Amino acid sequence: MLSSCKSNGVRSFYCLSEDKCITVWKTGNNSAFIILGKYNSAKTPSDDYIKLIDITNAVDWYASVIFTKDDKLLIDVADDNTKVISQSSKGTIELYNNKKTLNDSLYTYFDGKYRRYKNDVEYISIDVKENYATDKTGKKIE
């Protein structure tokens, strides 16, 4: 007897603290969601997410999630060629590049070679491909 098993993708949860969590859900159709909080539903989210489309062709599978002081998430996607859909009816999730100049002035500095996040910025760096994330100190988030 042959039975079938259907997967709805790989889901990873990353938290800086109990109230600062995100879900990265790589679906079976070469897309990935970055969702506010711990998302356990098998249904596609209807709000508060960023969807990365056709990530198999992306050069960089990296994203940074910044937790702002006004309880919003800023998502900074490394690959400018990645198609991104944003859905946040209350404005709790925004794409970093939508207001890049303003966000750069608020959250980053230039060290002479690279753009780096300021010391007081709380963020998670995600390698979507490898299901791996680190905090601002470089410590792996598990």
Question: pLDDT (tens digit, 9 = 90+) per residue, 3-14?
Answer: 444 456 889 999
Torsion over CA of 88, 91, 97 and 102, rounded to 10 degrees? 180
Could you identify the residue written with the tokens 């209350």? 90
pLDDT tens for residues 88-103?
Answer: 999 999 999 999 999 9
Q: Which two tokens stand for residue 135?
A: 């905090």
Q: What is the pTM of this model?
A: 0.85
